[in-house]
Structure 1
Amino acid sequence: MGIFLKNKNYRKLSFASWLSSAGDILFYLALMTYASKLHNYTLAISLISITEAIPRLIESLSGYYADRTKNKFKMIVWLAIIRFILYLIVGLLFVTNIAGWNLILIVIGINFISDISGMYSGGLTTPLIVNLVGQNEVAEATGFTNGISQIISTVAQFVGSVLLLYLSYSNLAIVNALTFLFAGLLYASVGHNYLKTHPQEDVAVNQQGFFTTLKSSFSQIKKANGLLTVISVIALLNGILMTLEPLISIVVAGNKSMLIGTYTFTIALIGAVDSIGFALGSAIGTIIFKKASLFVISLIDTIISAGTTLAIINKNIIATLIFITLLSFFAGVASPKMMQWLVSSVDRTILSSSVGALNTILQIAGPLMTAIFTSIASAIGINYALFALIIVSVTVFAIILYVMNKTKKAQANMQPAE
């Protein structure tokens, strides 16, 4: 939080990011609500979900093009203006005679273009954050920003559901457009201030091909002892966290003793403590555990993941909620620390590509593990799926412990003898 309060440019950059995220969530709710009222709404909602997921799966590609962009601030401002125009068009479309499937397909297409632009903009922002706050403060800075972003996202969902009672779909699209306009103005202000203090700075850009860049990224990550393993471990931990929610939903549905009020409220409460835990971990945990290694944080998280699963098996909803909060908290601590390690391990010219590849791995792990463990629950029983998760947690713990000891020995051998 100290970086956020002291660094005016980073503060403006953060506000711009929060504005864009809040606007996106408001419009996403509006779009899903409109789709839910269509004939064959299942297909419409599925199309929206698919087009929302695709940009995340190609983040390494958008990161690659971000690394090849020389004037990053200028491009970010233009992308914000483009997204402002796109959602103004959407707002106008909602008040035309176009309706039903014709309208939803056009809006989904525009929204997809906007999401791709947003992913590209995020890639452009990554190296700029490092320049603004310094390499050693990346974990604290991004942790605080991500934590507040998580809180804003949660609040925006509730606000959006209320606004839908009073505002039209067109109005919400225009509200989203305005968030991008204000974000663009903030980006322009930061860019102007930054270029005033760095007028002659020669910006190096990536000149390699896409696959050569990915190869170079993984090669540099592998040279950092233990980083690649930790990335894989955190992907698994994120996968466990994502998998637990549908498994808990299954257990709660069959055990009324786990209900807090109604089934819907219980599931909403689980989602809420998950979001709160992650937000607190990102915003505050990164400061509290600033000196703790990523290995230690990962070990703690694997122990908690096993504890969460045991609480579910024992059908103790209070213990489950506490463990999920802790699991999310340490996941929130781990992500910025991993970013810090990545920033210090790869060349700045391929940083966005590396972050994109990393996020793609993290994005794939969750749905893949969810599909595997929910399939086990459906085929042979929920308890088998839960015990399998415990085995995964124990295995991951053993791997981290082994790699941590191996890394310590390697670092000790590298130190010159006195």
Structure 2
Amino acid sequence: MDVFAKNKNYRNFTIASFLSGAGNILFYLALITYASKLRNYALAISLISISESIPEILQVFSGYLADRTKNKFKLMVWLAVIRFGLYLIVGILFASGFAGWNLVLTVIVINLMSDIAGSYSGGLQTPLIVAIVGNDDLAEAEGFASGINSIINMIAQFIGSGLLLFMSYSSLAIFNALTFLAAGALFANVGFNYHKNHSQKETVQVNEHGFFKTIALSFKEVRKANGLLTVVLVIALLNGILGTIEPLISIVVAGNKSSMIIGTYSFTIALIGGVMTAGMALGSIVGTKLFKNMSLFTVAIIATALSTAVVGSMLIKNIFICLPVMASLAAFIGTASPKLTQWLVGAVDQDILSSTIGLLNTILIITSPVMTTIFTTITASFNVTTALILLGITSLIVLVITVKVACSINKKPAIEAA
């Protein structure tokens, strides 16, 4: 919060990201709503979901391209303008006689192009944020941005559903386009102010290596920082566990309505999602400052222990124990992610920073759908209790490994604190 209030460049930079993110959520809801009215709506919604996930999986490539980009501020502005143009086209398509599957498929392709550009822009942002706020304030800055972004996304979903009652699909697409135009203007302002106080030589750090050499270097840099790779894998597994908990608890609640329902089933599921989102946001905004001097390994150990406790609370089927423990788990995961980014920035060469973060983000993203698929398959093949027991055992194994690695690292006096 302090860095947002005091650092004007970071404040404008973050507001630009919030604007484009909120606009994207509003339009995503509009597109999903339109697709739900088609005859084969399930296929249309599935295609939209797949198109939304592709750019996230490709972050390692967008990060690599970002590291090879010389004038990062300038390209970010152009990417925002390109995305403005793409959604302006979408708005015109919705306003024309174009309709049905032809419209949806065309918009999915345009939306995919925009999201890939957004992934590229995200890769460009990381080293620039480091330059703007400095290494010491990075965890707080990243945590604040992540937490507020989660809150904005949650609010934007409710606002979007309300706007759809009186705004056309075309109007929402054009509104989304304007958010990118406003973001581009803010990025341009930050870039202009930054270059006034820094020489071009200071701001340009470019990776000259090929893609596979860059990935090899990224792994080498991460492995060189003692314990960093382990904590990355631990946080990836924690993300996977958190992602798996949502579908499993939905099944548990459905099978135990007398002891797990608060009000109605739909309200209970919404409450669980809201509690987890609020916990992540609280951890990102407050936790990074509150636990600034706590090592990342300690945060990871607490989070892993809480993941085991969540599974235990689901097994005893008590919603009033589940909710606070789940909120605590989400809060510590929200605290861990910005601290991990800060450690990465200090451990990795700046010219391959975006590539490394993109690679690790890909690992973090993939674990959730993979673990969810595994444990929901176990639930379908056997029962939810078996899946929960195996998930609990997985959490305990991760906890034991994390504690052992943390203890072995603490025995070495030369280790740099996370």
TM-score by length of 2: 0.98
Q: Do structure 1's residue 208 and structure 2's residue 182 form an aligned pair?
A: no
* Structure 1 residue 78: Cα displacement: 0.3
Matches within 5 A, 1:19-418: 19-202=19-202, 203-257=204-258, 258-412=260-414
Structure 2: 5+ residue stretches without partners? none
* Structure 1 residue 412: Cα displacement: 4.9
Q: Which 4+ runs in 1 deviate beyond 4 A?
A: none
CA distance in 2, matches of 1:200, 1:259: 59
Deviations 1:77-113 (Å, cap 9, x if unpaired)?
A: 0000000011011000001111000000000000000
* Structure 1 residue 411: Cα displacement: 3.1
* Structure 1 residue 129: Cα displacement: 0.3
**3-state DSSP of counterpart to 2:120:** helix
**3-state DSSP of counterpart to 1:344:** helix
**3-state DSSP of counterpart to 2:320:** helix
* Structure 1 residue 274: Cα displacement: 0.6
**3-state DSSP of counterpart to 1:136:** coil
Identical-residue share of aligned pairs (%): 59
Paired residue type of 2:268: T
1:7/1:413 Cα in 2 relative to 1: closer, same or farther (>3 Å)?
closer
CA distance in 1, matches of 2:262, 2:172: 33
Deviations 1:143-171 (Å, cap 9, x if unpaired)?
A: 01110011000000000011111101001
CA distance in 2, matches of 1:366, 1:200: 40
Deviations 1:6-31 (Å, cap 9, x if unpaired)?
A: 11000000000000000000000000
CA distance in 2, matches of 1:187, 1:317: 45
Deviations 1:58-91 (Å, cap 9, x if unpaired)?
A: 1000000000000000000000000001101100
Contact 2:314 2:322 in 1 (8 A): yes
CA distance in 1, matches of 2:91, 2:50: 22
CA distance in 2, matches of 1:256, 1:51: 35
Deviations 1:371-392 (Å, cap 9, x if unpaired)?
A: 0111111111111111111111
Paired residue type of 2:119: M
CA distance in 2, matches of 1:83, 1:412: 47
**3-state DSSP of counterpart to 2:412:** helix
CA distance in 1, matches of 2:279, 2:200: 43
* Structure 1 residue 200: Cα displacement: 4.0
* Structure 1 residue 39: Cα displacement: 1.1
Paired residue type of 1:237: L
**3-state DSSP of counterpart to 1:201:** helix
CA distance in 2, matches of 1:261, 1:377: 26
CA distance in 2, matches of 1:64, 1:256: 49
Deviations 1:179-232 (Å, cap 9, x if unpaired)?
A: 001100000000000000013424120000001000000101001000000000
Deviations 1:298-325 (Å, cap 9, x if unpaired)?
A: 1111111111111111110111111111
* Structure 1 residue 410: Cα displacement: 2.7
CA distance in 1, matches of 2:415, 2:155: 50
* Structure 1 residue 413: Cα displacement: 8.5
CA distance in 1, matches of 2:80, 2:318: 47
CA distance in 2, matches of 1:260, 1:353: 45
Aligned residue-pair number = 414
